[in-house]
Amino acid sequence: MEQARIFICYRRDDGAGYARAIYDALSREFGAERVFIDVDDIAAGQAFDEVIRRAVGESKVLLVLIGKRWRGERDGLPPRIDDADDPVRGEIAGALAGGMQVIPLLLDGATMPTPAQLPADLQPLARRNALELGNTRFDADIARLVAALRGTLGEAAPARRRLLLGGGLALAALLAAVAVWLQRAPPVPPPPLRAAVNGTWQAEVDYDWPGAHYTERFQFGGEGTDLYGSASFLRSPRGVLEGSVGPDGLRFVTHSGQEMNGQAFDTVHRYRGKLVGDEIRFVMQTEAAATPHVPVEFVARRVAASASQAAR
């Protein structure tokens, strides 16, 4: 029997970085085959609208990622959500009409749109209970989302997570067996609490506009889960903010300024990296810029101490 799917609906210039992070987290919990995201699940040459329509129809839950630019505001024009052919509008309208469970996810302090801010076919969305997702509490927020999804899908947590909820006698017997095994087994060193990301890194980055190839450098420090330092954007160092690091990766934010048509923009760059050997595989999403951007993937490699010192 095919298991119910989870569909991730997002606007690329509003929440693409979060969409990828949520997809990765839910794939670990439910299996990648049960989570739909357009960048992975639509092959080259397929009809985009047909694949989306079929995926929505095969899903039980639609997650709507709502950031501060989700409606798609435009200068001198109504927001894109009002367009009849807007893909985000089409996905949500199809889910609501089909009776799917629709869960809004509010990103980084975004607020729910009011019914007056939505076209008629999306106005029921404003009455759905939302969950919040923030960069600084991402893991805890994902845990709440997973619990809500399990309730909606009528699924219990995997057996390994239900173990501590079992009968007292069975638990006592298990703990006794573990104690005996620990006495016989050789000592095992505890896993590292922090990925080895401190130091200097360098990456060749191709941004999403023509001819935008830059050599970027990253300088990281910190202890435990704290991460600080700098990350260059267009070869200019930017301070690392909201930095955190776990056993296999890291995440942080930087800011840069941009001006277009006399209007200044505080542009946000969100980085998520996974440590693999002596490489950090990054995905960087630019938000709140003058023009929309797609996520950029690149690999940073460690710079030897002598090379790092010589470059200063």
pLDDT one-digit tens code per residue, 1-57: 456 799 999 998 888 888 889 999 999 999 989 999 876 545 545 555 777 888 888
Place of tokens 């049960």: 34
At residue 275, φ and ψ (nearest 5 deg) are -80, 120
Domain spans of the chain, in order of start:
5-153, 163-188, 199-310
Residue-wise pLDDT tens digits, 103-136: 999 998 899 999 999 999 999 999 999 999 888 8
Q: What is the average pLDDT across 189-210?
A: 83
Of the given ranges (62-66, 217-221, 303-307), which has the lowest mean pLDDT?
303-307
Q: pLDDT over 70 for what percent of the chain?
A: 81
- The CATH architecture annotation of domain 5-153 reads 3-Layer(aba) Sandwich (3.40)
Q: What span, in angstroms and rounded, lies between the C-alpha atoms of 170 and 179?
A: 14
Q: What is the average pLDDT across 236-260?
A: 87
CA distances (Å), 128 to each of 102, 104, 131, 211, in order?
7, 7, 10, 44
What's the first-to-final CA gap in the chain, in angstroms? 60
Q: Which has more confidence, 130 or 194? A: 130
Phi-psi region of 211 (alpha: psi -120 to 50; beta: other; left: phi over 0): left
Q: What is the average pLDDT across 74-103?
A: 93
Q: What's the confidence (pLDDT) of residue 45?
A: 52
Q: What is the average pLDDT across 237-250?
A: 88
Residue-wise pLDDT tens digits, 134-160: 888 888 899 999 999 988 888 876 655
pTM across the whole model: 0.53
> What is 199-310's CATH topology?
Lipocalin (2.40.128)
Q: What's the confidence (pLDDT) of residue 1?
A: 41
